[in-house]
Structure 1
């Protein structure tokens, strides 16, 4: 469900969402300074999720139905709050969860909507009398088709509707607090390094005759420098500064005894900036490092998506969607550092993931 190949049919939908975002936020405020782009990145990516997962279009929704984009935005916000609360004493956390009626309300609304879409899609595919007649154009269609296909071969090897809801809940959280953090860091650093932004635009000009030209998979795959910049943003500002793993047996690491059950912290921020593992100065923002000198850094030194069996399951999908969003943004707008006019100093704000604390950029429509 979270493979790049599964997301390929969503390309046009993602581009449409980004275009709507640019029209609503920047076209009528051309050249203005924006200080709320972290929140707007969260809203944009939630809108992309509801569009690619359910083909939800607020312009075509019924006035009597709730705003599903707002429901999933609130659901992501409340889930983040509740998960941050896991650091509290158990009884405090349990009481907090029980009394957070707004979180329970939006969870119930999100679940009702997802269950309704599952039933609608099951009925649609049954009417076609075919498990998967065409390549699914939305995520829920792909999941339902997968359920039907697997149920024909095994009665106990497919996802139940409740499990589908859990998977989509996890996707909501990953989008709201993970991908939005990465996109926020990209916007911050691209404003600080205009030479990298200029190289992106030069690469885009080689493939597009005009700013609103259609984006295709072939063109997307040929955009290499954008990937270098994305990788450098992920390296320079990992959204998870530390990864925790539990030891499954007694061990000895650098003469330090590790007992079974111990929690081991992997300092991702440190590894990404350790000069022992990077040929080009790791304290500098240099996307070109991935062209030659740091094309294959040690596996342990680049952990943006984690590693091993517990690595991010949706890393292919996340990278693919991020590349589409960033490409379309760079195709249509220029992001500038406003200098002394606003506080664009970055800093770190730790939530579930690490966000830039101060982001204020001037956005000009090309």
Structure 2
């Protein structure tokens, strides 16, 4: 009995010391909910950094607040002005990624998404160069997207108006675009390897934003040893990296006379950099860059398109107006191109509004201060993790005419012309903004306009209510739904 009392006393003492330690640290930081020993604010945020929860907390603690994940604190930013001051005004000072346990396991400091310093700058520069060589912003990339769009339209037509979940068809089309860019080939729709790659990419991409992902970053030593979703994530990540390596070996075995894809261009650059001791252009980085491109170029686009079709079915008057505008424009053209957005102001506004209201990547990826920065009245120390709530920017009532509802007028002036908005940040901002922004914009425009040119989308007969709340994860996705695609 004495031993038990001694143990409880020691435990209570340890908790008290830890609590006082965290409280002293918190006193020097922006305000936030009271952190508890070891778990921080995990219970407060229900074990996930949901953008809506963070917006609610900001009404209590302000647009700059501190949230604790275990014993690690992060500064959460809400609202356009606060996010702009951090990501744009202090862009270079918040250009690092934090070395979280998951990021470390995912990339080991390689690739583009989670690397830092010299390696990140080199890989980003090479990645952007490779995308430009393959037609980023040119007709080469558009041709690839148009090919997948035609197949996607045919898949919808084959359903003959029956209610169907569009997720699978959209996944296939979007995946094949990034595979064509990465590897120079696409997959048939019913292919075992293709399905396995998509499934694995979903598991790895989703893990970061889940409850288990938050626990992994808080207690990595424990989660690594326990059964759970993290064990499945390990296997899927290993499979994806092995597949990337397999594609590289195939390209080395059968080299193209001229580079045709990301692998070709990168292998060419590896060859040129062999005598440069400072270069990080190597096979390990190539594997990670390919994986980064797959994850970043797959999940956000397919989720945005799924939201887009759902909004068209729920707002049929908007869909009809988009189709009328497209019909008038395409009298003298066959394939819609990205440059045509300038002639389709309402359609362009609808696509932007879908991106704004759906908030597919609500928090982006976390940043880390490379040096001390000043935000309003607070000094944020070097090494501090920064979370920019991009969803709060898209819902900021000081920046939008209709912040809480789906309304294309958010991107239209009084004459009906398209009007850009500085608070539109679906690709984040600053030094770490999305490398594939131009590619994503092109995909969304061509896929969306081509679908509405050929098809009308309706809710199944008898369905009057649709769950529009979404499912939170690394990306914010719609709940599974069915839709009827009717040829026009």
**CA drift at 1:216:** 4.6
Change (3 A) 1:140 1:112: closer
Go from structure 1 to structure 2 and tell me whether the alpha carbon gap of 1:56 and 1:234 turns closer, same or farther (over 3 Å shift): same
Contact 2:176 2:187 in 1 (8 A): no
CA-CA distance at 1:120 after TM superposition: 4.7
Match of 2:185 in 1: 56
Over residues 44-70 of structure 1, what are the superposed CA-to-partner deviations in whole Å (9 max), with x where a residue is unaligned?
Answer: 211222233333244599xxxx74422
User: What's the TM-score, normalizing by structure 2?
Assistant: 0.62
Q: Which SS does the other structure have where 2:388 is aligned?
A: strand
Which entry has the higher C-alpha Rg, 1 or 2?
2
State whether residues 183 and 261 of structure 2, in contact with CA within 8 Å, keep that contact through their aligned partners in structure 1. yes
Deviations 1:281-323 (CA, angstroms, capped at 9, x unpaired): 22232223323269343x4x32211111111111111111221
| From 198, 201, 210, the counterpart of 2:320 | 198
Please report how far the alpha carbon of residue 252 of structure 1 lies from its aligned counterpart in structure 2 after TM superposition: 4.8
| Partner secondary structure for residue 201 of structure 2 | helix
- Residue aligning to 1:73: 198
Q: Distance in 2 between matches of 1:60 and 1:292?
A: 42
The alpha carbon displacement at 1:140 in A equals 3.6
Distance 1:341 1:98, change over 3 A: closer
- Which stretch shifts more, 319-328 or 12-21? 12-21
Q: 1:159-238 maps to which residues of 2 (within 5 A)?
A: 159-209=281-331, 213-216=334-337, 219=340, 222-238=343-359
CA gap 1:108/1:235 in 2 versus in 1, 3 angstroms: closer
| SS of aligned partner of 1:346 | coil
Note the 1:251-262 alignment, pairs <5 A: 251-262=373-384
RMSD, matched Cα: 3.4
CA distance in 2, matches of 1:109, 1:206: 49
- Contact 1:306/1:312 (CA < 8 Å) preserved in 2? yes
Partner in structure 2 of residue 42 of structure 1: 171
In 2, distance between residues paired with 1:98 and 1:325? 36
In structure 2, how many angstroms separate the alpha carbons of the residues matched to 1:13 and 1:39? 19
What does residue 224 of structure 2 align with?
A: 94
Checking the alignment, whether the CA contact within 8 Å between 1:336 and 1:361 is kept in structure 2 is: yes
Structure 1 length as normaliser, TM-score?
Answer: 0.80
Q: 2:148·2:173 contact (CA, 8 Å) conserved in 1?
A: yes
Q: Does structure 2 retain, via aligned residues, the 8 Å contact 1:10–1:137?
A: no
- SS of 2:486's partner is strand
The structure-2 alpha-carbon separation of the partners of 1:269 and 1:56, relative to structure 1 and needing over 3 Å to count, comes to same
Please report how far the alpha carbon of residue 236 of structure 1 lies from its aligned counterpart in structure 2 after TM superposition.
1.3
Distance 1:105 1:268 in 2: 31
SS at match of 1:6: coil
User: Is the alpha carbon distance of 1:247 and 1:52 closer, same or farther for their aligned partners in structure 2, counting shifts above 3 Å?
Assistant: closer
Equivalent in the alignment of 1:29:
159
Tell me the alpha carbon deviations over residues 194-244 of structure 1, each in whole angstroms, 9 at most, x when there is no partner: 222222212222332499x33456546644433211111111121122344
Q: Is the 8 A contact 1:33 1:360 kept in 2?
A: yes
CA distance in 2 between counterparts of 1:362 and 1:182 reads 18
Distance 1:218 1:348 in 2: 31
Q: Tell me, yes or no, if the aligned pair for 2:374 and 2:380 is still in contact at 8 Å.
A: yes
State the partner residue of 1:287. Answer: 408
| Aligned-pair CA distance for 1:253 | 3.3
On the 8 A contact 2:174/2:301 being kept in 1, the answer is yes
Which shifted more, 39-48 or 162-171?
39-48
Displacement of 1:103 in angstroms is 1.5
Unaligned 5+ segments in structure 2 are: 1-126
